[in-house]
Amino acid sequence: MLQTAPLQSGGIPHRGEGLIMTPQEAKQHSTNLVMVPTTFLSHFAQMCGQAKERFENDIEIPFDDSWFFAPTNVYNPYMAWSAMGICLTGYKNLPSNEYRYIRKSFFNLGCEDIDISSYYHLNDENPVAYRLNVDQASYAFGHRHVHNTDGTERELVIMMLRGTSDTTEWLSNSEVADSIADGDFSRLVNHEGFWNTAEKAFRDLRTYIQRYDIDMSDARLWVIGHSRGAAIANALAAMIDEDTSLGVTHDRLYAYTFSASRVTMRKDYNSATFDNIFNVINPEDYIPRLPPYGWGIRRFGRDLYLPSIATRYADYRTYLDDFQTMFKQWTHMEFPAFHGNAEINALERELHNICPDIPTMYQRKRFSHAGTLTFAQYFTLFTDLAAVSGRTLALEAADFAKYGTGTFRDFLGFFLRNEIHGHNAPAAHQEEGYLIKLMLCCKYNIDIEQGATPDVTRLSVYGPASITVKDRGGAVVGSISKGRIDDKLYETNNFIAMYVDDTTGEQSVWVPDSGDYHVTLRAETNEPSKHPIDARVSTLDPEGNTLTQTYYTNIALPKQALNESVDWTLLAQQHQGTAASHFNDVDVSVEIRGIGQLNEDEAFVSFYEPGAHSMPIPKPEVVCDALGFLNATAGDHGIIHAHHGRHAKFLGWFAPGTAPKHAPGTDLTHAEPLSTEESYVLPLTHSTTLTAWFEKR
């Protein structure tokens, strides 16, 4: 077992005061549980280009009237399974199939007055809606009577909010604060795209209740959604918790969301007011990680995390075989796994580096070889491609890749690797995956309340050394050599999470805390004493925040490490590790300075005037850019980037208070640069600000 510092609160705070039932407890309380048959249409293989057709699947979802007489702030895993099953059938309902999947779910649940009218104009086969529907969503309504074990009868209204379709509904995902025209982003309370859509959903829910004259004075309301529908459901549930004009009070509202993006800047997002909202999240899914955590944006209610290989290894291994079998049965293709959430952590960090805050997103002009753009404008272009062109149109994707050269390179690179050319990202987000995992958590009595507490420890090495991890029986379960993961291990049964960051040189393995694993290192240079390594031993929460970290610097591997492996535990005991005392607050901020007179319509740095969101961007255009590295922990290695166009050249990175020797008219000390590499990797121990100096060509 790897040793690290005692657990401290460096990551996700406890969300809400709601209680959690284990699956076994939930089953015991579901005394009248029935399995409801329904059908969904799987389009995943077709979306990935692995099949020409879509596949119908018959499934069953649990339902018990008594759920709706239990406290609303108690999470019920069987209720989550049922909710996600309904959400799954909400996709791919079209005129050509008579919207039969969502109709069947609501009909078989015993609902009457089923209303899916929003589907009629918000679907993939409507060429007008294809481009015009932005701050809207499709949803299904139904209501029925439910009976408690003592014979008590109440009305239940069910509202399912569909996730993103292939229409431009997607675009409202990028509308964080588009209406703010005076530059005062401190007034932003909620993500505008989601909140505006939730307000419309609130009005439509009211209309449904009034149309069918449903008495809500003692009725129950069940609000559910996946993906974009989850974010809207999260916002909608929060509205209803505070606005009782529908006749629904907190103790009669049940809200379950799956893969919800973050929606609110409110500080009381996890207060008792919203403890009846439960958000189920796959740690390998990037959608719940947007917008970035560092902005202070959150979800209402309580977040619960499904097991993953890099967070809850034992639980993940318990259901993995069943999961893979069922996913292939439903989708007709193998599950394309991330094998950890390190790539998702890196994506969120990169987005935060580009946009440390919301004003930067809208007002800071960024450099790319396709022209100057703010990130808000870039992200609109990016989401427009995904919504209108579709993920499978490689030609449009390749053309759009030009916007990835420059400041947006690493951000777009994630999607080119994992969404366009690979399928890991959509698989982690896919509705089938969420449902299967929830089903299997019930089958194996896996308590996802424990999902925020890791049962693995990350070991990272920076420098010329290979890492090997063996289990108790001597089988290799993790191996990284010369910066490459031994991906043949993915064909075995017990591999662990592994990750390589080519930009920083990070090589990491996530070692389970139980099971007696043995970690060894081997030198990859003929003179290991001249090429010492750095290392860190950490625990992370499911959203990538560091909880604990001990770091080691300048470890010289012994000479025998050339020919034989060296035990990491013994090596760590021989060197003095430093325990980080606080977490996720080490920033390498960057400034940009320039030498020389640029053309009148060019600048080294430029910002929009407050509230100016127009396209095309007004002059001047920026000829260079730089990105820092934020929210790190002492012991991390960070990377900062400089980018330049044809009218500027990069002079180097300079320490605070210093400048290039030929910089005119400055009171700074002339000095040599810390580095002339545009991508500069540095070990981090404390926050600092470095300056990227450029010069006119």
- C-beta separation of 610 from 363 below 8 A: yes
Question: How many CB atoms within 10 Å of residue 432?
Answer: 23
Residues 6+ apart with CB under 8 A from 404: 368, 411, 412, 413, 416
DSSP symbols for 610-678: TT---SSPPSPEESEEEE-EEEE-TT-EEEEEEEE-TTEEEEEEE-TTEE-TT--S--SEE---SB--S
- C-beta separation of 511 from 539 below 8 A: no
Q: What's the pLDDT at 123?
A: 54
- Confidence at 356, pLDDT banded by 50, 70, 90: very high
Q: Angle at Cα 658 formed by Cα 656 and Cα 662, nearest 5°?
A: 155
Q: Is the pLDDT of residue 254 over 90?
A: yes
127-141, 388-402, 531-545, 619-633: range with lowest mean pLDDT = 388-402
How many residues are present in the chain? 697
Pairing of strands 112-115, 19-20: unpaired
Q: What's the pLDDT at 130?
A: 42
Q: Is the pLDDT of residue 341 over 50?
A: yes
Distance, in Å, from the CA atom of 152 to the CA atom of 338, rounded to the nearest integer, reads 48
- Mean pLDDT confidence for 267-281: 98
Q: Is the pLDDT of residue 380 over 80?
A: no
Structure tokens given for 147? 């009976």
Q: Is the pLDDT of residue 14 over 90?
A: no
Q: What's the pLDDT at 296?
A: 96
- Mean pLDDT confidence for 247-268: 98
Distance, in Å, from the CA atom of 4 to the CA atom of 645, rounded to the nearest integer, reads 44
- C-beta separation of 613 from 362 below 8 A: yes
Q: What's the pLDDT at 165?
A: 53
25-39, 130-144, 387-401: range with lowest mean pLDDT = 387-401
Q: What's the pLDDT at 35?
A: 98
Task: Name the nearest CA neighbour of 279 among 159, 455, 434.
Answer: 434
Strand partners, 303: 279
- Dihedral of CA atoms 384, 390, 393, 394 in degrees, nearest 10, equals 60
Q: Is the pLDDT of residue 381 over 80?
A: no
Taking only the tens place, the pLDDT of each residue in 291-338 is 999 999 999 999 999 999 999 999 999 999 999 999 999 999 999 998
Half-sphere exposure of 296 (CA within 13 A, CB side): 11
Distance, in Å, from the CA atom of 562 to the CA atom of 559, rounded to the nearest integer, reads 6
Rounded percentage of the chain residues whose pLDDT exceeds 90: 77
- Confidence at 394, pLDDT banded by 50, 70, 90: very low
Distance, in Å, from the CA atom of 160 to the CA atom of 226, rounded to the nearest integer, reads 9
Q: Is the pLDDT of residue 12 over 50?
A: no
61-75, 144-158, 165-179: range with lowest mean pLDDT = 165-179
Of residues 82 and 172, more confidently modeled: 82
Q: Is the pLDDT of residue 256 over 50?
A: yes
Task: Name the nearest CA neighbour of 467 among 504, 505, 503, 424.
Answer: 505
Q: Is the pLDDT of residue 132 over 50?
A: no
What residue type is 61 in one-letter code?
I
Q: Angle at Cα 617 formed by Cα 624 and Cα 172, nearest 5°?
A: 110
58-72, 395-409, 495-509, 678-692: range with lowest mean pLDDT = 395-409
Where do the structural domains in the chain lie, given as residue ranges? 23-177+189-336+423-443, 358-421+585-696, 454-579
- Mean pLDDT confidence for 124-150: 74
Name the pTM for this structure: 0.93
Considering the chain, what is the average pLDDT of its residues? 90
The domain 23-177+189-336+423-443 is classified under which CATH number: 3.30.70, 1.10.220, 3.40.50, 3.10.620?
3.40.50
